[in-house]
Amino acid sequence: MNRRKKVILVNILRQMDELGNYPPLSTAFLKAYCDKHESINRNYDISLFTSVCHEYNREELLQEIKKSKPCVIGLSCYMWNLESYLEALPDIRNAAKDALIITGGPEAHPGLLELSAEMDAIAIGEGEYILKEILESALNGDTWKNARGIAYRRGGRIVVNPPQEPLANLDDIPSPYKTGILPATPIMHIEYSRGCTNSCSYCVAAKAPYRHMSIERIEEEILFCIENRSDIGLFAGSYLNFKNFGVQTLRLIKKYRDMGHDITISDILTIDSNNDDDEFFGLLDEVVPDKSKFVLGLGIQSLCPAALKLNRRVTKIESVRNIVAKWRFQYFIMIILGLPGDNIFTVARAIAEAAKLDPLYLQMFNLAVIPNTHLFEKKEKFNIDADPMPPHELRSVMELSEKDIKKMRLMAKSLSMEFSPPAPIEK
């Protein structure tokens, strides 16, 4: 008889397709990391409940919870699923009265405890160490309330424990594909790095130090893709062309291509547009022979010196021009609408510059003031009024009134129509 206690990790994805695009990496990584510890694996049976926003059925989730009677329910929270969790939480609590309900993910911040009485704890930042510590605490007869990196309620107050360290070595997490947690699919998404060396004010990655998987680990993942005749979707990470890591990764892919394996990088790759290193692009050119199915994303975000400075963003437009002029890829260019320091005219100028680069399409994002970013924490300093609930839409900021923002979005929308087709990732 299986006496292991049940843990359910729930992930309602924004989208996922049968090719393998956008798998539930967060919950798969949490399980892979916890399972590898003998004491946890012996005592806990961790399962994943995965759904996609447009297919998600609350009853299915509740049935699963009633059936397995978990002692811990972990919710993987992003801006696209917070509402679904908030709606389901009273029923989840009814279905599992004694379970610890913990919410983690980029959208998770202590303020969520004020939105739902059923949430017991919030995990802030990377979850592997946090979940392991929580599961171990019960085995040692301790309380989960001492775990680092969490927030919880005590009396009427919210207590935020000292932060948990980011994972020192990403190789410590077993591959979710090789452990069979995620199925082999025609495209396999490899998480290759976490954190960032830059610190753009609006970005969650800026909060954590940059680390990448070892090149040996990447080689194992590539070999696994080859065995399963899959393409690589190198997508979860900051940028592949940070430092020398991208060159090393591409050299490996080239090595296996030269040996006759039909392996390539699929779909979309977002790269650091400030790094026009010829060796990287030369290798990329070789490992992606079919340019029609591949689009490179270059972030400009803003070209206004004041906005770049305020948001700690570096954009070297010369580098973007060099890349586009020299390398025959399809490109999409990203611009953020509404950064503190920008105004309608500076945004219009950035769009005009981007248009000169003749991209396949422009991707213009309305600034979202998302939790766990510098902007979210410093709203007052930047005179930001934004919706505290997802999608955290900006209402006004510094030089941009509500009316200006509407005008700017309208202008951007009409200009972006010139650059159809729309972004292929959106369904």
201 binds ligand B12 (CB under 6 A): no
Q: How far is the CB of 195 from ligand SF4 (least distance, A)?
A: 8
Q: How far is CA 115 from the centre of its chain?
A: 23
- Judged by beta carbon distances under 5 to 8 A according to partner kind, the member of ligand SF4, ligand B12, none in contact with residue 80 is ligand B12
Q: Answer yes or no: are the C-beta atoms of 125 and 133 closer than 8 Å.
A: no
34 binds ligand B12 (CB under 6 A): no
Closer residue to ligand SF4 in complex, CB, 48/271? 271
Among positions 376-415, residues that touch ligand B12 (CB under 6 A) are: 391
- Judged by beta carbon distances under 5 to 8 A according to partner kind, the member of ligand SF4, ligand B12, none in contact with residue 196 is ligand SF4
Token couple for 47? 């399962």
196 binds ligand SF4 (CB under 6 A): yes
Between CA 231 and CA 420 the distance in angstroms is 27
Contacts of 253 (CB under 8 A, 6+ apart): 222, 232, 263, 264, 265, 283, 287
Size of the site for ligand B12 (CB under 6 A): 38
For ligand B12, the binding residue among 15, 63, 94, 214 (CB under 6 A) is: 15
- List Cα–Cα distances, 390 to 108, 122, 335, in angstroms: 11, 17, 20
Q: Answer yes or no: are the C-beta atoms of 164 and 130 closer than 8 Å.
A: yes
Tell me the window of 23-31, 257-265, 308-316, 342-350 that interacts with ligand B12 (CB under 6 A): 23-31
For ligand B12, the binding residue among 46, 61, 76, 329 (CB under 6 A) is: 76
HSE, side-chain direction, 13 A CA sphere, residue 380? 0
Size of the site for ligand SF4 (CB under 6 A): 8
234 binds ligand SF4 (CB under 6 A): no
Q: Report residue 129: phi and psi, to 5°.
A: -65, -35
- Judged by beta carbon distances under 5 to 8 A according to partner kind, the member of ligand SF4, ligand B12, none in contact with residue 76 is ligand B12
260 Rama class: left (phi>0) / alpha (psi -120 to 50) / beta: left
- List Cα–Cα distances, 103 to 110, 245, 270, 380, in angstroms: 10, 33, 28, 27
Helix axes 82-95, 58-68, angle to 10 degrees: 40
238 binds ligand SF4 (CB under 6 A): yes
CA 159-164-170 angle, to 5 degrees, is: 155
Rounded to a whole number, what is the distance in angstroms from the first to the last CA of the chain? Answer: 44
CA 218-107-341 angle, to 5 degrees, is: 95
320 binds ligand SF4 (CB under 6 A): no
DSSP for 224-238 reads HHHHTT-EEEEEESS
Q: How far is the CB of 49 from ligand SF4 (least distance, A)?
A: 29
239 binds ligand B12 (CB under 6 A): no
For ligand SF4, the binding residue among 200, 232, 386, 397 (CB under 6 A) is: 200
- Judged by beta carbon distances under 5 to 8 A according to partner kind, the member of ligand B12, ligand SF4, none in contact with residue 198 is ligand SF4
Closest CA to 100 of 127, 81, 119, 82: 119
Tell me the window of 161-169, 195-203, 282-290, 321-329 that interacts with ligand SF4 (CB under 6 A): 195-203
337 binds ligand SF4 (CB under 6 A): no
298 binds ligand SF4 (CB under 6 A): no
Closer residue to ligand SF4 in complex, CB, 21/373? 373
For ligand SF4, the binding residue among 61, 108, 167, 203 (CB under 6 A) is: 203
118 binds ligand B12 (CB under 6 A): no
Q: Report residue 109: phi and psi, to 5°.
A: -145, 160
Q: How far is CA 379 from the centre of its chain?
A: 22
Among positions 252-291, residues that touch ligand B12 (CB under 6 A) are: none
Q: Report residue 324: phi and psi, to 5°.
A: -65, -40
14 binds ligand B12 (CB under 6 A): yes
Q: How far is the CB of 281 from ligand B12 (least distance, A)?
A: 22
Q: What are the residues binding ligand B12 (CB under 6 A)?
A: 13-16, 22, 25-26, 29-30, 74, 76, 78-80, 102, 104-107, 123, 126-128, 130-131, 191, 203-205, 235-237, 365, 368, 370-371, 391, 425
Q: What are the residues binding ligand SF4 (CB under 6 A)?
A: 196, 198-200, 203, 205-206, 238
